[in-house]
Amino acid sequence: MIVLLREVWENPRKRRNRLEIIAGILKVARNGIHKTQIMYAAGLSFAQLTAYLSFLVKLGLLEAAKKNEKVIYRTTAKGIRYLKSYEEIKHLLRKSTEHSVSSFSSPFSFPKRST
């Protein structure tokens, strides 16, 4: 939960895409968590969270179970597979970006003219 808040705090202007938000929700729900706790950890409004939870339950990435009159959301095995794939893709893109930035010259550098 703290990791998600740190990501939002360190770069408040960066907008998260849907895949990042979904991954964030699935991460915090691994061991089971209440809706309000997910809302704060993922940095979403109540309306946004409600839409995401409904979507994720329909996809089978999250399961909702009642415990002591409260609904607990837990990441399913399918949701864990999503997280693993998401992290692998993120890692590949990060490596690819680092490689491309260090191996290419600036787009503003032009070959010198021979005189």
Asked whether residue 40 is domain-assigned, the answer is yes
70-75: strand order across its sheet:
33-34, 70-75, 62-67
Residue range 42-73, pLDDT digits in tens: 999 999 999 999 999 999 999 999 988 899 99
Asked whether residue 37 is domain-assigned, the answer is yes
Instruction: Find all residues with CB under 8 Å of 28, minimum gap 6, and list them.
Output: 1, 4, 37, 38, 41, 42
Residue range 70-83, pLDDT digits in tens: 999 999 999 999 99
CATH number for position 11 = 1.10.10.10
Asked whether residue 95 is domain-assigned, the answer is no
Q: In which domain, by residue range, is 36 found?
A: 2-90
Strand partners, 64: 73
- Confidence (pTM): 0.71
112 pLDDT more than 70: no
Task: Give how many domains the chain has, as a whole number.
Answer: 1
Asked whether residue 100 is domain-assigned, the answer is no
